[in-house]
């Protein structure tokens, strides 16, 4: 089922540009990193799930790139652009070969089942 996104025709013309470009730099940064790294973890400081997923990847011998955007108290507006772009509500956001695979518990399941290694072609 495709995820729901508000149709552009339902946005007033005066705000369409703002919606399209709000914090676009952070989205482009993540898009570029996801395209150039087999595994990308996007997180934030002080979040235990971000630390846990990185440790799990390291324990499984999976190299990854990490991007951190603020903490609970900073950059939350900029991180909201990533949530709107992906539709994923929490951090970390983990990308494998450019596709969002979920967060901490999702990656833990992929590691345990061996699916992560299959996705990476190992």
Q: What is the pLDDT of residues 75-112, one digit of tens each?
A: 999 999 999 999 999 999 999 999 999 999 999 999 99
What's the mean pLDDT in 29-56?
98
DSSP-based three-state secondary structure for 85: helix
71 secondary structure, DSSP code = B
Q: Which residues pair with 102 in a beta bridge?
A: 94
Q: Residue 7 — very low, low, confident or very high, per pLDDT cuts 50/70/90?
A: very high
pLDDT at residue 3 tops 90: no
Which pLDDT score, from 0 to 100, does residue 9 have?
A: 95
Q: What is the pLDDT of residues 43-74, one digit of tens each?
A: 999 999 999 999 999 999 999 999 999 999 99
Report all structural domains of the chain as residue ranges with CATH numbers, in order of start: 9-119 (3.40.30.10)
């Amino acid at each position: 089922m495709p995820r729901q996104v508000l149709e552009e025709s339902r946005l007033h013309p005066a705000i369409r540009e703002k919606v399209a470009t709000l914090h676009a730099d952070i989205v482009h940064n993540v898009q570029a990193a996801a395209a150039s790294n087999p595994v990308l973890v996007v997180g934030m400081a002080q979040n235990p799930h971000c630390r846990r997923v990185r440790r799990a990847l390291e324990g499984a011998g999976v190299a990854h790139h990490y991007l951190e955007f603020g903490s609970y108290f900073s950059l939350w507006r900029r991180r909201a652009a990533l949530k709107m772009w992906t539709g994923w509500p929490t951090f970390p956001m983990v990308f494998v070969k450019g596709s969002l695979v979920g967060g901490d518990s999702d990656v833990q399941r992929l590691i345990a089942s061996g699916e992560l290694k299959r996705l990476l072609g190992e």
